[in-house]
Amino acid sequence: LTGTSREQRAFQYVLAHAIPGDPHHILQTFDQWCYHCEHLSCRPRAASGRIVERVLLERAPLRVLELGTYCGYGTVLLAQGLPPGARLYTVEGDARHAAVAEKVIRLAGFSEETVELIVGPSEEVIPRLREKHGLTNVNLVFMDHWKRCYLRDLRLLESHQLLAEGATILADNVLFPGAPHFLQYAKTCGKYRCKVHRASLEY
């Protein structure tokens, strides 16, 4: 009825109520909107967000790749946990979502030197990461895009030698709605040690 998308409405709420430059408060404000107004497919800190925070603390990755920016919630969650000098590359295939995410990321106080948003299908972006974006390899990959693309994109990262030695792949929703082919490959190909983390559903 308003002519604006859910994501745009959420951003307007965040813009009106969150403290600019405070990533934690921006995530809190998003959570308030999603709990009380409209559901968004974000990863609240109370659910799998804490798993992301723990992995960042343990691994201290200098180069992070996020597949599936959506409205920027997960990007802010990742960016606020980066060690000094680290850089996050986030890929979103939907230009409308990317436009909202860009505003959210910058409102949280992260510059393009810290967080680079790349708009385009992941299968087209990944092969160009080294040549076009100067990304030689990544220490952490966070997958939260289309589940059917998880295995394809992991194989692309492997074939373009973009995974640093000892890299961590963190993939969301592999059980529900599920990414069975990705999970089977990760468990049986012999390249990875796998662990499934239990988490609640969004909001």
Q: Say what the alpha-carbon torsion angle 159, 189, 200, 157 is, to the nearest 10 degrees.
A: 0
pLDDT at 44: 58
E-strand stretches of 41-200 = 63-67, 87-92, 115-119, 138-143, 163-171
Both structure tokens of 176 = 């529900």
71: nearest Cα among 122, 144, 140, 162: 144
Round the average pLDDT of the chain to a whole number and report it.
92
Alpha carbons 2 and 161: distance in angstroms, whole number: 46
By annotation, the residues acting in catalysis are 144, 147, 172-173, 202
Opening angle at CA 104, ends 100 and 109, nearest 5: 150
DSSP assignment of 27-70, as one string? HHHHHHHHHHT-------IIIIIHHHHHHHHHH--SEEEEE--T
Tell which phi-psi region holds residue 120, choosing left (phi > 0), alpha (psi between -120 and 50) or beta.
left
What is the fold, at CATH topology level, of the domain defined by 42-189? Rossmann fold (3.40.50)
Q: Sketch the domain layout of the chain as residue ranges.
A: 42-189
**Span 158-203, pLDDT tens digits:** 999 999 999 999 998 888 878 999 999 999 999 999 998 887 666 5
Number of H helices and number of E strands within the chain? Answer: 9, 5
Alpha carbons 1 and 156: distance in angstroms, whole number: 41
- Res. 48: pLDDT tops 80: no
68: nearest Cα among 40, 97, 48, 96: 97
**Span 113-143, pLDDT tens digits:** 999 999 999 999 999 999 999 999 999 999 9
Reported pTM: 0.93
